[in-house]
Amino acid sequence: LRDLVPTLIGVDVGGTKCLGVVLSADHEVQATARRPTATSFDDLSDTVAAVVEELEGGAAEQSPIGVGLPGLVDRDGRLHAAPHLDDPGGHEPIAAAAALSDRLNRRVLLDNDATCATLAEWQLGAGRGLNNFVLVTLGTGIGGGVVSDGAVMRGEHGFVGEFGHMLVDPDGPACSCGNRGCWETFASGRALGDLARAAAERGGLDGVLAAVGGDLDRVGGEQLEDAARRGDAGAAAVLDEFAHWIGVGLAALTNAFDPAAFVLGGGLAGTADVLAGPLERWLREFLYSSRRRPVPEVRFAALGPMAGAMGAALLTAPGRRS
Ligand SMILES: [Zn+2]
């Protein structure tokens, strides 16, 4: 006999891997499956199909599938830009939800991966119970999502949350998007590595350099975090500079959305203990009228790398939007 309340299946297409999860009726992760991510959309459909097949154990299922994709995913399930896929060259969006639906022979609900993660952290993670919060994923780049007045914001086209490309310095470093000085050129995981290397070249990271045999190319975020935890002042200074740049963006987002809290996710959420203090200080420093208002709480994501796939599964929950 089938359970009366079906399980939910979601697939998160990341930059390096495709992660699928099965959520039980009470939203516990029951099973996971992983495949390397493809670089063309056609191959990606096969990859998603293989993940779903593994999750379902070959049973002839027809339950809907939720899929989170990086890039600009519109409200009709069309993909306008995808940073990890080879550019097919045309200017027409890819009808991704329809193509996946054909490939999987069932209904497919598609959304941006960070929007999926926002939904999961809201319903099951660090944002539970909040009516207003902003998820910021600090990974190689920066993405995120907004819960505003008790609903996940999507915007006119579904493109809410591309925080990494907010301009903070039009004369700043070149960004992958073609502009200069986007927030993610200062405050992403990649930017932290750049800050570290610049500091090492100035001679401010001798302790960190000693730990990597003097090889500047091996100084990255992880080495800095380790050194800061050991009490290395040079490493702490670089992390403070990094927190300063994160604070610039969080202050701007506070002015825009008035959140009760930020939920910080992505690879850098693991550095909570060394980042939280400086981050809260810089946010307070940059925030409009910070002495006369509540300053948003800074939390760290609870669901880790599962958030995107869990949120994709939640897209298919009975009663959610179509
Ligand atoms: Zn950019």
How far, in whole angstroms, is CA 195 from its chain's centroid?
Answer: 21
Confidence (pLDDT) at 193: 87
Question: Ligand 1 centre and the CA of 197: distance in Å?
Answer: 21
Confidence (pLDDT) at 1: 44
Question: Ligand 1 centre and the CA of 307: distance in Å?
Answer: 24
Q: What is the pLDDT of residues 121-140, one digit of tens each?
A: 999 999 999 999 999 999 88
Q: Is the pLDDT of residue 273 over 90?
A: no
Phi-psi sector, 219: left (phi>0), alpha (psi -120 to 50), beta: beta
- More confident call, 117 vs 273: 117
46 pLDDT tier (thresholds 50, 70, 90): very high
Average pLDDT, the chain: 91
Q: In terms of DSSP H, where are the helices of 260-299?
A: 272-286
Is there a contact between 111 and 137 (Cβ–Cβ < 8 Å)? no
150 pLDDT tier (thresholds 50, 70, 90): very high
Question: Ligand 1 centre and the CA of 86: distance in Å?
Answer: 18
Question: Ligand 1 centre and the CA of 162: distance in Å?
Answer: 9
Question: Ligand 1 centre and the CA of 245: distance in Å?
Answer: 15
Question: Ligand 1 centre and the CA of 171: distance in Å?
Answer: 12
Question: Ligand 1 centre and the CA of 145: distance in Å?
Answer: 17
- B/e letters for 194-212, b = 16+ CB within 10 Å, e = fewer, are ebbbebbeeebbeebbebb
Question: Ligand 1 centre and the CA of 184: distance in Å?
Answer: 7
Report the predicted TM-score, pTM, of the whole model to 2 decimal places: 0.92
Q: What is the pLDDT of residues 200-226, one digit of tens each?
A: 889 889 888 888 888 888 887 788 888
